[in-house]
Amino acid sequence: MEIQAQSPAADHPSRLASQHELAGAYRANGQVEEAVGLLEEVVEIRSRSLVAGHPSRLASRHNLATYLWTLGQHGRAHAMMNHVVKIRKTSLDEDHPSRQSSEQWLAYFGPEIKQSF
């Protein structure tokens, strides 16, 4: 109880950043399903608390899309990465590394598969 009282709120940026990093560690350890579950929570909270083009919100969606692809959820992954690319195209220069990374992943995913995320 004492630790819980001292913990940051669920939508605190530091807590979300830590969860985002932990999801990456899960994936690196082969625990992709756990990574997806955690990152889905982060994406949901950031969707409510940050504007659509916020870099942290887009980074979480970008990573979640790649994790979903790994799990074979290709339609969902493609739709999510396409969304990230569309926003990054309006807010970042074409030579920005984050924009290029998302565009490269989207190209890797191939043609669009109709399914919403």
pTM over 0.85: yes
**Cβ neighbour number for residue 21 with a 10 Å cutoff:** 10
In the three-class reduction of DSSP (H, G, I as helix; E, B as strand; rest coil), residue 86 is classed as helix
pLDDT digits (tens, 9 = 90+) for 21-48: 999 999 999 999 999 999 999 999 999 9
* Residue type (1 letter), 6: Q
pLDDT digits (tens, 9 = 90+) for 83-114: 999 999 999 999 999 999 999 999 999 987 66
Q: What is the CATH number of domain 12-109?
A: 1.25.40.10
Burial bucket for residue 31 (CB in 10 Å: 0-12, 13-18, 19+) = middle
